A and B are shown apart, each in its own frame.
Chain A
Amino acid sequence: MASPVPVKEKKLMEVKLGELPGWILMQDFTPKGIAGAFQRGYYRYYNKYINVKKGGFAGISMVLAAYVLFNYCHSYKELKHERLRKYH
């Protein structure tokens, strides 16, 4: 598994499947690393959908849909009693 580029610095799509556990373990899990990951993710989304010349409604509506989905998952436990089933 001798690759010329060290495993740690490859992006996810270039990591081979066998190297995946090693890649995950070598990621930066310090608070600074996690904050950096969130920051990179935020700016990737922002610059692609919102910070454009002719941004539309889709940019924020995806964020709101994700928010609704998050709240749904969180309250699933109470909601599953309200399904239409014969036996709960």
Chain B
Amino acid sequence: MNENLFASFAAPSMMGLPIVVLIVMFPSILFPTPSRLINNRLISIQQWLIQLTSKQMLAIHNQKGRTWALMLMSLILFIGSTNLLGLLPHSFTPTTQLSMNLGMAIPLWAGTVITGFRYKTKASLAHFLPQGTPLPLIPMLVIIETISLFIQPMALAVRLTANITAGHLLIHLIGGATLALINISVTTAFITFIILILLTILEFAVALIQAYVFTLLVSLYLHDNT
């Protein structure tokens, strides 16, 4: 039982070849390139969704922040599609691997911080000290703000990993429990119902992407525009 539970999170490799690369690239097939003014239904739906999301997301940025539009939109598309594909049976979700999430979080966060320091050095340094702090508290507060700054990328990565992994694990566990309880009929229906609710809630993995990009976005906003 122990080995089975975590076997689905191992990176898939066929005869030593890492096919995880293929699985990471698979969601891109589901987003075809629009080639005309009016496209087929799939592309039209995707264009409408992207327009909706990007208007929502870029509303609070100024001119400089809006140069990040492509990056943010591709980020939310990638994480959203990868998480949703992971809900299919037997599939492997790349975002359960901490390595990948760290690889996404650290460069993006570092980009926002460095941009802030390059263009608005005084304002970025001023973030370390909230307004109106009493004088004796200043050294400690600067240390605390520095720690909270450096924990931002770690929090981004670990949040995504932990949420998706925990959701998948719960589905495995509860599904296994349901199968084992089939011989005892009263509880079976109830637990199956719990699985259904849990899966629906897990479909709000999309909400998690919203959280990811939103957090990133807030950080970008604070660094660039204040």
| Residues of chain A at the chain B interface (Cβ within 8 Å) | 42, 46, 50-55, 59-60, 63-64, 67-68, 71-72, 74-75, 78-79, 81-82
Contact = CB atoms under 8 A, between A and B. Distances in A.
B135 interface: no
Given A64-B88, A67-B26, 19 more contacts: A51-B32, A52-B40, A54-B41, A55-B42, A60-B30, A60-B42, A63-B30, A68-B88, A71-B88, A71-B89, A71-B90, A71-B92, A74-B12, A74-B19, A75-B7, A75-B8, A75-B12, A75-B90, A79-B90
Contacts, number: 47
A50 B32 contact: yes
B29 A63 contact: yes
B85 interface: yes
A62 to B, nearest CB: 12
The 3 closest A-B pairs by CB, nearest first: A71-B90, A72-B90, A55-B41
Given A50-B32, A74-B12, A68 B89 contact: yes
B104 to A, nearest CB: 23
A68 B87 CA distance: 10
A63 B92 CA distance: 16
Given A54-B41, A60-B42, A81 B4 contact: yes
Contacts of B51: none
B43 to A, nearest CB: 9
Contact of A78 (B4, B88, B92): B4
Interface of B: 4, 7-8, 12, 14, 19, 26, 29-30, 32, 40-42, 85, 88-92
A48 to B, nearest CB: 12
